Structure 1
Amino acid sequence: MTALRSIYEGDECFKEISPVSFQFRIGDLEDTKAFILDVMWPETYPETAPQISLDAFFNNRISAETKQLILSKLEEQVEANLGNAMMYTLFEWAKENQETLMENHKPVMTAVTLTSSSEVTTTTSTAKKKEKKEQLTKAQKRRMINRTDNKGELPRGWNWVDVIKVGAFDLFSTRW
């Protein structure tokens, strides 16, 4: 791990999640053929193969077939380097072979639309279904903004009725 830290220090493609788990991005952020490798070392690494996955949210636009191809090609490299520290070798191999790994890649487009009932529906590019969003008036938007804190969240109990004040007012008005 020390060697990886020194090699990739300051590299935005390398992210250490824990001492035995990290991510490495192959390609630029804007590149449609970029992907992120999630790697986790077992206790007996490098005698045992690292666990490699493409489950990062960033990879959602990559088809399952392309992901399977990438993982199978990486597994071949892992088998060839088993017993040796191989992370640098795997990352560099993936960078050099990015075009080959992604040659059959056709981006999977998914759209997430929030309906007025707060249900989340996912539609693919083949079935383009548009949901009409609920429109708020300027006054409604202004009231929502005035209720939120600096993080854009509503404070706890923002829609509660102030029972004490209402009760005291009722008692006060009935006595007089």
Structure 2
Amino acid sequence: MTANEDQEMELEALRSIYEGDECFKEISSVSFQFRIGALEDKNAFILDLTWPEMYPETAPQISLDAFFNNRISAETKQLILSKLEEQVEANLGTAMMYTLFEWAKENQESLMENHKPVVTAVTSSSDATSATSTAKKREKKEHLTKSQKRKIISKTDNKGELPRGWNWIDVIKHVSENYLNNTIFEVPHTMPYLTIFTFLVAAEQNGRKRR
């Protein structure tokens, strides 16, 4: 009997044994999934098994890469695989799918004894919305009006840079409006900055005398 004939016979046996069993899934004629434990069982896991061409004379490929197993730590997965490999070695050369499935079911508790669910950090939608909103507010705050842009451009030099002290007039205006109480002065924009500063100091002193 060839390996392929062995596979055909075992496949028919598996279909008969697990007909209607939601734990068993035939992916293809040489690839299968089997869930150990109920869906709501925190210690449940899914086995993926594939027959190579010369199975059962050669070992089946076994993995725990199903998405269902993502919460299982790498250490626990390695333990399950190593224990299953021992069973494979003991049954090499014979149909062993049923044996492996049933052995895993019977030993589920010990295989998952040290299982601690892996918690994956997930960014909630509310956090993402908040971050987006903050970014938009920052972007809006830094946006200049066309009028502001024209004023800045008109003050740039031939290199496109703003001259030193380009906004001093605004600063001086703020100081004069907030600190020179009861004193009204007009500060010419053409006045040199040092002269303006001296002018404001004198104005402040004059204001204090009036008070």
TM bin, normalised by shorter chain, reads: 0.5 to 0.7
Deviations 1:102-150 (A, max 9, x none): 00101111143367xxxxxxxxxxxxxxx71327xxxxxxxxxxxxxxx
Report the aligned-residue RMSD. Answer: 1.7
* Structure 1 position 18 matched with structure 2 position 24: no
2:54 corresponds, among 44, 64, 72, to 44
* Structure 1 position 96 matched with structure 2 position 130: no
Deviations 1:28-48 (A, max 9, x none): 101110000000000101000
Counterpart AA for 2:112: M
Give the match for residue 65 of structure 1.
75
Q: Distance in 2 between matches of 1:111 and 1:15?
A: 31
Q: Distance in 1 between matches of 2:37 and 2:124?
A: 31
Q: Percent identity?
A: 84
2:44 corresponds, among 14, 27, 34, to 34
Q: Distance in 1 between matches of 2:123 and 2:44?
A: 25
Segments of structure 2 that go 5 or more residues without pairing to the other structure are: 1-10, 131-211
Give the match for residue 146 of structure 1.
none
Higher strand share: 1
Give the match for residue 165 of structure 1.
none
Counterpart AA for 2:107: N
Higher helix share: 2
Counterpart AA for 1:134: T
TM-score computed with the length of structure 2 as normaliser: 0.55
Q: Which has the larger radius of gyration?
A: 2
Q: How does 1:1-176 map to 2 (within 5 A)?
A: 1-113=11-123, 132-134=127-129
Q: Distance in 2 between matches of 1:28 and 1:75?
A: 23
TM-score computed with the length of structure 1 as normaliser: 0.66
Structure 2 residue matching 1:110: 3-state secondary structure = coil
Segments of structure 1 that go 5 or more residues without pairing to the other structure are: 116-130, 136-176
Counterpart AA for 1:27: G
Structure 1 outlier segments of 4+, above 2 Å: 111-115
Q: Distance in 2 between matches of 1:60 and 1:112?
A: 14
